[in-house]
Chains A and B, each alone.
Chain A
Amino acid sequence: MKTTTPLSRVGFMAVDRRSFLRMVAAGAAVVGVPSLLAGCTSSSPTGAATSGRPIGDVIPSYIPVEYVTPDFPSVNGSVPGFLTLPKELVQSVASAPGSGATFKAMTPLWGTIPPTTGNQYYKAVNGMLGSTIEFQITDGNTYGDKLATVLASAKDVPDWVCIPTWNLPPRFGSEIVGNVFQDLTPYLAGDKVKEYPNLANIPSDAWKFCVFNGKLYGLPFPGGTLNDAIFYRKDLIEGMGITVDVKSGDDLLALALELTDAAAGRWGADDLWTPATIIHSVPPKWKLDGGKLVHRFESDEYRAALEWNAKLFASGAVHPDAVAGQTGDAKKRFQSGRTLIMGDGLGGWNEALRDNLASNPSYWQQPFDYFAADGGKPVLFKANPTNIFSFLKKSDDKNKITELLALANLLAAPFGTTECDVITNGVEGVHYTKDSAGLPVPTPLAATELQPTYIFLVDGPVTETHVQYPGYVKAISTWQAKAAEYATDPLFYGQQISEPQQFGSLGQPFVDLELDISRGRKSLSDLDAAVTTWKAAGGDDLRAFYQEILDAQ
């Protein structure tokens, strides 16, 4: 009965990632005291006041290295796909870079905790590294709380800290990063990265996002450029005799309605808010309209997306559980055929195949080819190039930092290397066995010991290598290549901008409005009222803040 502060109760619930991201997207990138900014695109050198060097000078040079040729090469930045696993693996790092030291690393995990003693996976990777990385793994959903407390207590900060973008604490850019973490510019900028070839292999956009206040601090976990897709159950829909030909927002509405049959327990769609923003080309934060900055909430696209989503809900095509906000079960509904259209990250595709092909060999889901709501040419905004960073604790010990970077270099080994193979699959015979097609089949031990840990520190560029699902790599690679045609950089793409604290909760009313308007509890006039309030409460100041940054570029 004791009145605990609400924050402590955050831990009690599994905050759905999507709702979390909604809050982050609506709120701020990184909230902090106005700071000296460097952000600028790669093309022009910066003129920002006190920030120092152009960002192009601060990030490592991009020196790509390819160990295996992809069957579906990258097109316009799409993810390269591989149809088979390479027979020969190359060892990218000649000898173990470590000195036998032990480092503590704090990482999140959405999964079961692996044992810390006698873990052969750790032994194998640490063997490759030559040093030991001791993980302090934390429950992924409450990672933000843990981070907040650890960063407040300097002595408790471990050597290597992973911070997902959605957990970046407020004032990170202004106060924390410079004081707690190590500036990596002198170690990695420009050609200095040649000592770490695997780190040089990481694309520049990912590195740019790791620059805070004109200095390089973070090590990236690179992500794909287009992450969200609108999936439909191709197997079930075609089984009903319907051909899918969706080229506009109205087509999608019609399809969803056609597929709905409440008595049979089948609804056309789940909550399609994210898809709505995609097809209506809603800018993630800002867009330029005739030289003026227009915020997402003010934009016509946002309004149109809301209107469309409200129409969808009103038509009755949305599953009642989705109407009730049960987003956590969206995949279960989709995979069981209770909904037939769903928005999801691309990573959900291979996971769905993993979970369903065994018991339902005809299971197939497919993303719609991108289209624009009005039937015209779609405009797709690229997602953040990095979603997870890791930082090294500030230290005067140059050897320690170089060693950690050398370890990072090994961990970032790309596809086709022995290191990548061990990190991904573990030890042959212990964690997996090769089947007749040469594919690794995990052993039961893998389920307990092999958990994503090292990838939270740093990882190589994204590749599509799920060769075990027939037809999958081809489907996703070709789809991505087509989609990448429409990919454009949103304004301030890849720039790490710290917004002042006072703008922190400006976007909160819109998070609620998105839910309310979609479900018909509020109308678009409420949106207009909210926008007016937003402008007065700080929106215009925010605009001025960003205008300054824009002008400096």
Chain B
Amino acid sequence: MRFGALRGRRPAAEPVRDGAARWAAPSVPVRKIGWRTRLKADRSLLLMVLPAVGLLVVFAYVAMLGNIIAWQNYSPYTGFLHSPFVAWANFERVFSNPLFLDAVRNTLTITAFQLVFFFPIPIFLALLLNSVMSPRLRTAIQSVVYLPHFFSWVLVVTLFQQMLGGAGLVSQTLRQHGYAGFDLMTNPDSFLVLITMQSVWKDAGWGIIIFLAALGTVSPELYEAAAVDGANRWRRIWHVTLPALRPVILLLLILRLGDSLTVGFEQLILQRGAVGPGVSEVIDTYVYYQGVVNGDWGFSAAAGLVKGVVSLALVLGANKMAHLFGEAGVYQKA
């Protein structure tokens, strides 16, 4: 590698980003340490984790027990203990409806599309902003680009409607000059592109924050050293910048994969009438309209559990794949 000399020169200053090296089994055989010793050695760590775990156990796990209603014909008034047990009936209902498959298909399509066209954008923007020289300009841009994140989806859809709708700014301008207008908001065929555009507009700017923080951990001396060694701009990005971002990107990617089954609920409900459920029905909206609207708590709980199991499996799978590529992933086997 071209920068091997660099590494030899200043090993301490260079953050080791190569995950594989970090957690690979050490060459020196490790003595088997008894668990009591390890417990004693790590007790501070355990103490540190305690408050968070305590809060989670109380507010997340105890509440999660409520998911028992997935196996019941639950009525809020009768309560958990007395509602009749119906075994897997709720789960069956989730799967048996033909709309379910459509919902899954739409969900996966949207997730895949956004993985390619939405996920990389904050990274790209962060790199772009990072390369802006003037700090004033950079700060100025950073200070506005995240703001759309705080707009509600109602507002975002309204804004898009006013710009790109059939009676929107663009269409009206075209009409006034004699051309035909167009309506991007009610076209089911371009819906995928539309919602991705909306998501990018709303959330890309917010997404760069994490990457900016990660980029901030890179010492500029590294860039200088690389430049002095003869690396041009692109090689510097490849060998210094991106490795700095790699752990964060991977973590977010794995988590995003785990979240594949969740794609924009409010955004899609708002536009359901515009393009029809054929393209806008996803798992969350399916559960909402089939279950929640009718107060069918057991149904929603069952669907939630199925989603959770699949998502967890996806995360574990993605993590395993990361290991195969020599990356640390979310957790490692050590």
Contact = CB atoms under 8 A, between A and B. Distances in A.
27 contacts: A1-B259, A3-B307, A3-B311, A6-B287, A10-B288, A10-B292, A14-B154, A19-B273, A23-B293, A148-B295, A152-B79, A170-B294, A171-B295, A176-B77, A321-B166, A324-B161, A326-B158, A326-B274, A327-B273, A328-B154, A504-B294, A504-B295, A505-B290, A505-B296, A515-B272, A516-B278, A521-B278
A13 B269 contact: yes
Given A3-B262, A338-B167, A320 B277 contact: no
Interface in A168-199: 169-171, 175-176, 179-180
A319 to B, nearest CB: 6
Given A6-B288, A323-B274, 10 more contacts: A3-B308, A6-B284, A6-B285, A6-B300, A12-B153, A14-B154, A320-B183, A323-B183, A324-B271, A515-B276
Contacts, number: 148
B117 interface: no
A28 to B, nearest CB: 8
B266 A12 contact: yes
B293 A27 contact: yes
Given A179-B77, A320-B185, A321-B166, A508 B293 contact: yes
Interface string A310-340: 0000000001110111111100000000100
A382 interface: no
Contacts of A7: 288, 292, 300
Contacts of A149: 76
Contacts of A516: 276-278
B165 interface: yes
B148 interface: no
A519 interface: yes
Which of B77, B154, B165, B181 has the most chain A CB atoms closer than 10 A to its own CB? B77
Q: Give the 4 A-B CB pairs with smallest separation, nearest first.
A: A320-B166, A325-B273, A504-B294, A152-B76
Nearest to B281: A512
Nearest to B178: A263
Contacts of A326: 157-158, 161, 274
Given A3-B311, A5-B300, A262-B175, A323 B186 contact: yes
Interface string B163-190: 0011110011001100001010110100
B273 A27 contact: no
Interface residues of A, number: 52
A329 B158 CA distance: 9
B27 to A, nearest CB: 38
Contact of A31 (B176, B188, B294, B300): B294
A267 interface: yes
Interface of B: 73, 75-79, 99, 152-154, 157-158, 161, 165-168, 171-172, 175-176, 181, 183, 185-186, 188, 255, 259, 261-262, 265-266, 269-274, 276-278, 284-285, 287-296, 300-301, 304, 307-308, 311
A319 B276 CA distance: 17
Contacts of B175: 262-263
Interface of A: 1, 3, 5-7, 9-10, 12-14, 19, 23, 27-28, 31, 148-149, 151-152, 169-171, 175-176, 179-180, 262-263, 265, 267, 319-321, 323-329, 338, 501, 504-505, 508-509, 512, 515-516, 519, 521-522
Nearest to A28: B294
Which of A169, A321, A338, A519 has the most chain B CB atoms closer than 10 A to its own CB? A321
Contacts of B308: 3
A537 to B, nearest CB: 10
Contact of A148 (B76, B176, B265): B76
Given A3-B262, A152-B77, A12 B165 contact: no
Contacts of B301: 5
Given A13-B269, A267-B167, A3 B304 contact: yes
A175 B172 CA distance: 55
A324 B278 CA distance: 15
Which of B73, B78, B168, B289 has the most chain A CB atoms closer than 10 A to its own CB? B289
A218 B76 CA distance: 21
A170 B291 CA distance: 11
A262 B165 CA distance: 13
A519 B75 CA distance: 38
B167 A321 contact: yes
Which of A148, A152, A338 has the most chain B CB atoms closer than 10 A to its own CB? A152
A262 B272 CA distance: 24
A506 to B, nearest CB: 10
Contact of A13 (B161, B165, B183, B266): B266
A148 B292 CA distance: 11
Given A6-B300, A262-B181, A324-B186, A505 B161 contact: no
Which of A12, A19, A151 has the most chain B CB atoms closer than 10 A to its own CB? A12
B269 A265 contact: no
B154 A521 contact: no
Given A321-B167, A325-B274, A515-B272, A6 B186 contact: no
Given A13-B270, A505-B293, A324 B166 contact: yes
B256 to A, nearest CB: 8
Which of B158, B188, B273, B277 has the most chain A CB atoms closer than 10 A to its own CB? B273
A9 B270 CA distance: 13
Which of A179, A267, A320 has the most chain B CB atoms closer than 10 A to its own CB? A320
A519 B186 contact: yes
A27 B294 contact: yes
Contacts of A176: 77
Given A176-B77, A179-B77, A320 B154 contact: no
Nearest to A509: B99
